[in-house]
Amino acid sequence: MNIRPVVLVADPLSPVALSSLGSDVEVRHCDGTDRPALLAAVESADALLVRSATRVDAEVLDAAPRLRFIGRAGVGLDNVDVQDATRRGVAVANAPTANVVSAAEMTCALILASARHLLPAGTALRQGSWERSRYTGVELSSKTLGVIGLGRIGTLVAERMAAFGMDIVAHDPHLGNACPDGVKLLTLDELLRRADVITVHLPKTAETTGLIGRAELAAMKPTALLVNVARGGIVDEQALHAALVSGQIAGAALDVFGREPCTESPLFELDNVTPTPHLGASTSEAQDRAGVTVVEAALKALFDQPAGSPAA
Ligand SMILES: NC(=O)c1ccc[n+]([C@@H]2O[C@H](COP(=O)([O-])OP(=O)(O)OC[C@H]3O[C@@H](n4cnc5c(N)ncnc54)[C@H](O)[C@@H]3O)[C@@H](O)[C@H]2O)c1
Ligand SMILES: O=C(O)CC[C@@H](O)C(=O)O
């Protein structure tokens, strides 16, 4: 009889994280985006480890009578119904700092890539076209960066882009007086009107979904660049497409989309859009840290507490 707790890994975790699971647990794998496979596999799971692709909702929790722990190897918890899990006595843990440097570096890369048209210029060159004037960019020095959501990642982006000579403004109603030196706090409307580059670093919640829509895009400068490395759906993709086509704003860089995986979008047809497939946390360092953090939390939940009692 198998008495080792079963840990179900439903999204790819780093090899370092997988090896840190050790031999006291039985590790099983499934593709968490394959719903029937997930629902079948979770039935015997004591712990479930996911990243952002697997949706853990009431249906999954209903199918998981033994589940004691859900680990989210990353920051955003919008794919896990934390409230429902907690109500059922299933502990949930994420890795809130594991990938923030990677996400901030990705954001800076996208800001620079957009300002200098790196993606369309490189694509044109691969197709044999040497078009230097077409891809004239803009300098970032002395321009204003608007950070919406000045938490961990927003702050790291602000620090890094300040080194490029950007003035930093931010909007974050939950900050109170805890604003870092050198950053000016503004209302959302003031930020939208003033910033040359706007970067979004919010959790996806009922309050933030659709926060950047038609009216907000209309308030931006026609030269503005918008970057979203937070979550799809915070920026309204239809409204963004219209704003980019009409020249209401100059460009956008998007790492995240309302529906993922997203392999087709009218946005991908626009030269002034730099899309990436949710790569913000995709570095070996971030994946090792995020994976090991949730593995440690899983082992603690499975072995430090008697089965059936909710973990803290
Ligand atoms: N693309 C990626 O791979 C990737 C990687 C890591 C994180 N993320 C996303 O980035 C998000 C932010 O991460 P973080 O670590 O900076 O989180 P955080 O909690 O440290 O910061 C979020 C900030 O947003 C602020 N905020 C909340 N609601 C707001 C609103 N309506 N208007 C303005 N500000 C508001 C909060 O006060 C907080 O300061 C995560 O929730 C996650 O969804 C994406
Ligand atoms: O690694 C991933 O799946 C992305 C994680 C990222 O979006 C996060 O919220 O931490």
Residue 131 and residue 152 in one domain: yes
Atom 5 (ligand 2) nearest CA: 74
Nearest protein Cα to ligand 1, atom 39:
151
Same domain, 197 and 53: no
Distance in Å, CA 190 to ligand 1 centroid: 20
Residues 142 and 239 in one domain: yes
Do the domain assignments include residue 253?
Answer: yes
Contacts of 253 (CB under 8 A, 6+ apart): 110, 111, 113, 114, 225, 226, 227, 228, 273, 274, 275, 276
- Domain total of the chain: 2
Residue 312 maps to a domain: no
Domain identity same for 124 and 54: no
In this structure, the answer to whether residues 225 and 125 fall within a common structural domain is: yes
112 lies in the same domain as 82: no
Q: What are the pocket residues of ligand 2 if the criterion is a CB atom closer than 6 Å to any ligand atom?
A: 51-52, 74-76, 99, 278, 280-281
pLDDT in tens, the chain (312 residues): 558 999 999 999 999 999 999 999 999 999 999 999 999 999 999 999 999 999 999 999 999 999 999 999 999 999 999 999 999 999 999 999 999 999 999 999 999 999 999 999 999 999 999 999 999 999 999 999 999 999 999 999 999 999 999 999 999 999 987 788 899 999 999 999 999 999 999 999 999 999 999 999 999 999 999 999 999 999 999 999 999 999 999 999 999 999 999 999 999 999 999 999 999 999 999 999 999 999 999 999 999 965 444 433
In a domain, 68, yes or no: yes
Residue 258 CA, ligand 2 centroid: distance in Å: 14
- Does residue 74 contact residue 281 with C-beta atoms inside 8 Å? yes
Q: Does a structural domain hold residue 309? A: no
The rounded Å distance from CA 85 to ligand 1 centre is: 22
Residue 40 shares a structural domain with residue 159? no
Tokens for 254? Answer: 């998007």
Pocket test for ligand 2, best of 31, 51, 284 (most atoms within 8 A of CB): 51
CATH number for the domain that contains residue 241: 3.40.50.720
Q: How many helices (H) and strands (E) does the chain have?
A: 11, 12
Report the residue among 79, 147, 201 best suited for mutation to probe ligand 1: largest number of ligand atoms under 8 A from its CB.
Answer: 201
Q: Is residue 263 part of a domain?
A: yes
Q: Where are the alpha helices (DSSP H) in 163-232?
A: 188-194, 214-219
- Global pTM value: 0.96
Q: Are residues 88 and 105 in the same domain?
A: no
Distances from the Cα of 34 to the Cα of 10, 14, 62, 230, 256, angstroms: 9, 20, 17, 24, 20
Which residues, other chains included, contact 273 with Cβ-Cβ below 8 Å and sequence gap of 6+?
244, 251, 252, 253, 254, 267
Active site residues: 231, 260, 278
For residue 80, being part of any structural domain is answered with: yes
Residue 1 lies in a domain: no
CB of residue 174 inside a 6 A radius of ligand 1: yes
SS3 181: coil
Locate the ligand 2 atom nearest the alpha carbon of residue 282 and give its number.
1
User: Are both 72 and 109 inside the same structural domain?
Assistant: no
Q: 292 C-alpha to center of ligand 2: Å?
A: 14
Tell me, yes or no, whether 259 and 295 share the same domain: no
Asked if residue 310 has a cis previous peptide bond (ω within 30° of 0), the answer is no
* Per-residue confidence (pLDDT) for residue 312, from 0 to 100: 37
What is the span of the domain harbouring residue 221?
100-275
Our answer on whether the CB atom of 299 is closer than 6 Å to any ligand 1 atom is no
Residue 310 lies in a domain: no
Total residue length of the chain = 312
| Assembly ipTM | 0.99
Instruction: List the residue whose alpha carbon is closest to atom 19 of ligand 1.
Output: 151
C-alpha to C-alpha distance for 33 and 54, rounded to whole angstroms = 5
Residues 115 and 253 in one domain: yes
Q: Is 228 in the pocket of ligand 1 (CB under 6 A)?
A: no
Q: Does 110 share its domain with 176? A: yes
Is the Cβ atom of 202 under 6 angstroms away from ligand 1? yes
Do 163 and 216 touch, CB atoms closer than 8 A?
no
